[in-house]
Amino acid sequence: MRLLHGMWLRGDLRLGFFARAFPLVLAALVLGGCGSMNITSDGADSALMLKGYDPVAYFTSGTPTRGRPDVKAEHNGVTYRFATDDNRRTFAASPDRYVPQFGGFCANGMVYAIPLGGEPENFKIIGGKLYLREQDSILCYDVKSAP
């Protein structure tokens, strides 16, 4: 029985090359779009974390604060911007304390292994760690389970 050009159905299921290759192509496309960091590009910074917001300011002022393009530091291959030189020095002394959890992806999505883009304006600090959310209406998993 002929189904499509080059595809036959006989006693055993024999499909053409494209039908066998489809799952591999699909997996490559899906995994190729996944990254380990939620980064953006802005000007000379091709791997910018937190869309340019200052990671230290979340802890010191309690609000998202835009960093300046001329005050920045690199950590684990991504660039962080800072509002002040003091914040940059604080970050350089202990960067793991200030980097967002889950690579900056939405904490709620990561619970289900879905890397949703976390927004720097929607955040929560829990146990001294910075968690981002995709939307303000979505509660982080950690917020629900925090004591």
Sequence spans of domains, the chain: 2-32, 39-145
3-state secondary structure of 132: strand
Q: pLDDT for 63-116, tens place per residue?
A: 999 999 999 999 999 999 999 999 999 999 999 999 999 999 888 888 788 888
**Do the Cβ atoms of 51 and 118 come closer than 8 Å?**
no
| Global confidence as pTM | 0.69
Q: Which of 139, 132, 118 is nearest to 35 (CA)?
A: 118
**Do the Cβ atoms of 69 and 63 come closer than 8 Å?**
no
